Amino acid sequence: MLKTAHPSYVIFGAPGSGKTTHGRMLASLLNPSSHFVDMSRVCKVASAFDTSFGNLFAECSSKGELVPDEEILPRFERYMQSINKDEPIVASGIFRMAAQVHFAFQKVEYFMEGLIPFVVAKIKLTADDAVLRQRKRAEEDIAAGRTPRPTDLDEVKNRRRVEIYEAEVEGVLTAFRQYCDFKVIEVDSKETVQETFISLATSAGHHNDLHLKLIA
């Protein structure tokens, strides 16, 4: 018996596709018990308590690389301990490699319990558009007086980040299927992400019918 009527959402998309922005919006609209979780936030929280890890995170970010699993996964496990197993999450970027999926479902209590149904939202975006969006994001940060992400002005590193995502995403979903059934929603990053996520939030009480409609 599921303890919640609401599913958890796992958002996939290339760098620059808007996972974080739209994930935060969806979590805020769903219900008060929803949590937004993304791996960058896990890294930032861990960095606040561990200077050496913070230096590693900054170094990896500057190169457009992922923090090694042996460093990030134990911290991800500790982070998830703060979330009740019967409360839904909206997750962005927490499953970037198949090994991370296996770790979560074998080691992290929240996922091991299997109390909440999952919905996977895949944001569609071409590689060229993803690279352009990352540069535009940096330019907007600079114009607003914010420090841009280290790689966002480097087209070579931007494209490398997109290539890593495209090479790994299907393997991640294949690993995910080993542990749970989930529905998949595909949304066009140029037009329908915000509208789709708002519909998901406002129709949460009838989410099964809505998801079937979107997949069809």
| Rounded Cα distance, 93 and 99, in Å | 14
Q: What is the DSSP string of 43-65?
A: HHHHHHH-HHHHHHHHHHHHHT-
Residues 39, 94 contacting (CB under 8 angstroms): yes
Residues 37, 92 contacting (CB under 8 angstroms): yes
Residues 31, 142 contacting (CB under 8 angstroms): no
- Residue 44, pLDDT > 60, answer yes
Residues 159, 127 contacting (CB under 8 angstroms): yes
Residues 9, 90 contacting (CB under 8 angstroms): yes
Q: What is the pLDDT of residues 61-93, one digit of tens each?
A: 888 788 999 999 999 999 999 898 888 899 998
Which residues does residue 187 pair with via DSSP β-bridges, in sequence order?
A: 123
Residue 105's Cβ-side half-sphere holds a number of Cα atoms within 13 Å equal to 17
Burial class (CB in 10 A: 0-12, 13-18, 19+), 146: exposed
Q: In what side-by-side order are the strands of the sheet with 89-92?
A: 35-38, 89-92, 8-12, 118-124, 182-188
Segment 187-194 shows an average pLDDT of: 65
Region of poorest pLDDT, from 17-31, 151-165, 198-212: 198-212
Which residues does residue 10 pair with via DSSP β-bridges, in sequence order?
A: 91, 120
Q: What is the pLDDT of residues 147-181, one digit of tens each?
A: 888 788 888 888 988 998 999 999 999 998 998 88
Mean pLDDT rounded to a whole number for the chain: 82
Provide the pLDDT for residue 205.
Answer: 47
| Rounded Cα distance, 197 and 180, in Å | 22
Could you tell me the CA-to-CA distances from 205 to 23, 115, 131, 208 in Å, in that order?
A: 19, 17, 37, 9
Answer with the residue of higher pLDDT: 86 or 46.
46
Q: Whole-model pTM?
A: 0.81
Kind and range of the H or E element at 89? strand 89-92
- Residue 101, pLDDT > 90, answer yes
Provide the pLDDT for residue 76.
Answer: 94
Full set of structural domains in the chain with CATH? 8-215 (3.40.50.300)
Spatial CA neighbour of 137 closest among 161, 169, 120, 167: 161
- Residue 7, pLDDT > 50, answer yes
